[in-house]
A and B are shown apart, each in its own frame.
Chain A
Amino acid sequence: AQTVTQSQPEMSVQEAETVTLSCTYDTSENNYYLFWYKQPPSRQMILVIRQEAYKQQNATENRFSVNFQKAAKSFSLKISDSQLGDTAMYFCAFSGGGADGLTFGKGTHLIIQP
């Protein structure tokens, strides 16, 4: 079974700053995907970014990028030029083979201060 660990329950930064959210995971699988989902106060689950384990290149989506270290089983999310609308709970999630459900971390509550 997989485990996903987010060690930062809450983080707070000023608007326009860069912030990095940490995530580590444990798995014996070789083919898997990793995700960051954002959950704002509306509680909608919004996909931020995904990383396929077989890809060495780190994924990037506009202001969001990841640092994927497969050997270390680490998958951190960097948000550049943070905006007030980035305030949300951020969940790191693991997807393995088949139609397996996602395994989520406990989440990091990110607060962007004006």
Chain B
Amino acid sequence: DSGVTQTPKHLITATGQRVTLRCSPRSGDLSVYWYQQSLDQGLQFLIQYYNGEERAKGNILERFSAQQFPDLHSELNLSSLELGDSALYFCASSGMTSSYNEQFFGPGTRLTVL
């Protein structure tokens, strides 16, 4: 158990819908990262937050957005869902400003878009 929790574990929804994925980092970690893992794209970095502020942006679509709240949990919002958004979404956390440190991954949320 990494100490990072993600909810829900599984999510099944339809195209065009909007979903919210939730992540709670390890106690004391200020940085939260979101990744998308799919069979064809591999593990793709989406976005990083540090203590509530966006820190780095990766291959995140405009239909996706994220935020980190004062209690440090983070949410990833996916809207206008398409079939290709079906993937495993991982959250990770780390304890320092940069991602030079080890990241601790959560169990992931498996999103299926029908």
Q: Do A and B come from one complex?
A: no
Q: Which residues of B contact A (CB under 8 A)?
A: none
Q: Which residues of A contact B (CB under 8 A)?
A: none
